[in-house]
Amino acid sequence: MNTENVDVLVIGAGPSGCVSASYLKNNNIDVKIVEKSKFPRYVIGESLLPRCMDHFEEVGLLEALKKQGYQVKKGARFLKEDKVCNFDFSKKFTEGWNWTWQVPRAHFDNVLAEETQKKGVPIDFENEVIDVSFDGSNSKTTVKDKDGNLKYINAKYIIDASGYGRVLPRLLDLIKPSSLPKHSSIFTIVKDINRPKGNEGTLITFDIVKTQVWLWVIPFSDGTTSIGFVGPTEFINSYKGSPSERLEEMLQLSTYFQSRFKGLPHVFEPKIIQNFSTAVKQIYGEGYILTGNSGEFLDPVFSSGVTFATETGLLAAKMVAKIIKGEPTNLEKEYVAPVQFGVDVFTSYVNEWYSENLQKIFFHQPENTEVKKKVCAVLAGYVWDKTNPFVKKHNRVLASMAHLIDLEVEQQQKEC
């Protein structure tokens, strides 16, 4: 059987895998990617956060992306009944990128993969990892191509960036249930012929249509728009009929968007992802490291998935480069601690979103500009800036703020 040798094997050519492999190649490390699909391939996750621009820039993938004419995203808008809260990324506490993109992922990921190949990283498309065995940190990976032919890849280190494929978590029994409640989503892309003129395209909108249920609206530069509902799994499953019928009926929950999207042709039959939150027992072991969705996925509400994938992809590559070069590394301190901190911050925000404390803060009038700037930095993905009290004290600050708002409202009611 065909056997190859490589220093680092990256599983998956999504954003996490491409950022990892690009960094390694830039640092003269022998790296290759194996990718199960043929690109371009569809994947969900179209609204980016400014923070991920730092990662693409650092590994030299940004210039190619800039040429694609993707929809520029400058902020986020939250709607609930007649209330509106806008976040403008140029008004955020933490220094950094003020904008990013909303991208059709099939195209975007294909550009990333092509640029990664141009750097000299070989990508074996339509090659699926089906097994891995370890001898210390050296690994032997079994790969099956689309015709069913098998080959082995010997690697000194594996970066598992396989996203929802979760290759090593499955093979090494690392999967554990997420602490988050079971939520699901139904989504498609529509030809957005009724899109209003103006800055509508530059925002992602979150329309809270019901307690715990919200609709995302992500406009693209080609005139199509991604729409999707997220909510408790029983709620999503309570709608009957074909996926198109279910989505169409759910649209009636949105006073803001129902007339704009009603009856528009779907670019594809709506897809459903059930119980998307996942977690793992550990994010590294001897000879491997997990990045992006392969490790943890929380919730789509703050569009943090791709940014988390590129943040962890880059950091993991830095660790692996040191290991391959024989330099000292402390994965607990340099990888697990920062990754866990990011997960913890986003988990607090996800929990307080569904507890509705965060919504209280968003829609409170008059707006508190200082609070908004700090929350905006989190929404832009700058969740490692501990000078931001809304990052550092993430587990207390939101509940405390919401409590103060409750007291204020109570006081106002007494005075009336």
Ligand X SMILES: Cc1cc2nc3c(=O)[nH]c(=O)nc-3n(C[C@H](O)[C@H](O)[C@H](O)COP(=O)(O)OP(=O)(O)OC[C@H]3O[C@@H](n4cnc5c(N)ncnc54)[C@H](O)[C@@H]3O)c2cc1C
The answer to the question of residue 34 lying near ligand X (CB under 6 A) is yes
Subset of residues 365 to 394 that bind ligand X, contact rule: CB under 6 A: none
In angstroms, the CA 221 to CA 103 distance is 8
Subset of residues 41 to 70 that bind ligand X, contact rule: CB under 6 A: 43-48
Q: State the nearest-atom distance from the C-beta of 309 to ligand X, in Å.
A: 4
The answer to the question of residue 164 lying near ligand X (CB under 6 A) is yes
Q: State the nearest-atom distance from the C-beta of 225 to ligand X, in Å.
A: 12
CA end-to-end span of the chain, whole Å?
82
Q: State the nearest-atom distance from the C-beta of 272 to ligand X, in Å.
A: 9
Q: State the nearest-atom distance from the C-beta of 297 to ligand X, in Å.
A: 6
Is residue 37 within 8 Å of 331, Cβ to Cβ?
no
- Packing angle, helices 305-324 and 337-354, rounded to 10: 170
Q: State the nearest-atom distance from the C-beta of 262 to ligand X, in Å.
A: 22
Among 14, 104, 201, 231, binds ligand X (CB under 6 A): 14
Q: Which residue has the tokens 């640092």?
A: 27
Beta strand extents in 233-392 (DSSP E only)? 271-273, 279-280, 284-285, 288-290
Q: State the nearest-atom distance from the C-beta of 166 to ligand X, in Å.
A: 8
Q: State the nearest-atom distance from the C-beta of 247 to ligand X, in Å.
A: 13
The answer to the question of residue 163 lying near ligand X (CB under 6 A) is yes
Q: Which of 117, 64, 16 is nearest to 320 (CA)?
A: 16
185 vs 224, beta carbon nearer ligand X: 185
Subset of residues 203 to 242 that bind ligand X, contact rule: CB under 6 A: 228
- Packing angle, helices 337-354 and 394-415, rounded to 10: 20
253 vs 405, beta carbon nearer ligand X: 253
Per-residue burial over 226-258, b = 16 or more CB atoms within 10 Å of its CB, e = otherwise = bbbbbbbeebbeeeeeebeebbbebbebbebbe
Subset of residues 71 to 130 that bind ligand X, contact rule: CB under 6 A: 128-129
128 vs 397, beta carbon nearer ligand X: 128
The tokens for 168 are: 């090593």
Q: State the nearest-atom distance from the C-beta of 365 to ligand X, in Å.
A: 28
Sign of CA dihedral 114, 310, 104, 178: positive
The answer to the question of residue 37 lying near ligand X (CB under 6 A) is yes
The answer to the question of residue 11 lying near ligand X (CB under 6 A) is yes
Q: State the nearest-atom distance from the C-beta of 50 to ligand X, in Å.
A: 12
**Taking the C-alpha atoms of 394, 398, 399 and 401 in order, what is their torsion angle to the nearest 10 degrees?**
140
The answer to the question of residue 12 lying near ligand X (CB under 6 A) is yes
Q: Which of 74, 23, 92 is nearest to 375 (CA)?
A: 92
Tell me, residue by residue from 289 to 318, as one string, x for binding to ligand X by CB under 6 A and - for no binding: ---xx---x--x--x-xxx-x---------
Among 9, 13, 112, 209, binds ligand X (CB under 6 A): 13
In angstroms, the CA 374 to CA 384 distance is 12
45 vs 359, beta carbon nearer ligand X: 45
Q: Which amino acid is at 382?
A: Y
Q: What is the maximum span of the chain, computed from C-alpha positions, in angstroms? A: 82
Among 6, 9, 10, 15, binds ligand X (CB under 6 A): 15
Please report, as ranges, the residues that interact with ligand X according to CB under 6 A.
11-17, 34-37, 43-48, 128-129, 161-165, 167, 185, 228, 273, 276, 292-293, 297, 300, 303, 305-307, 309
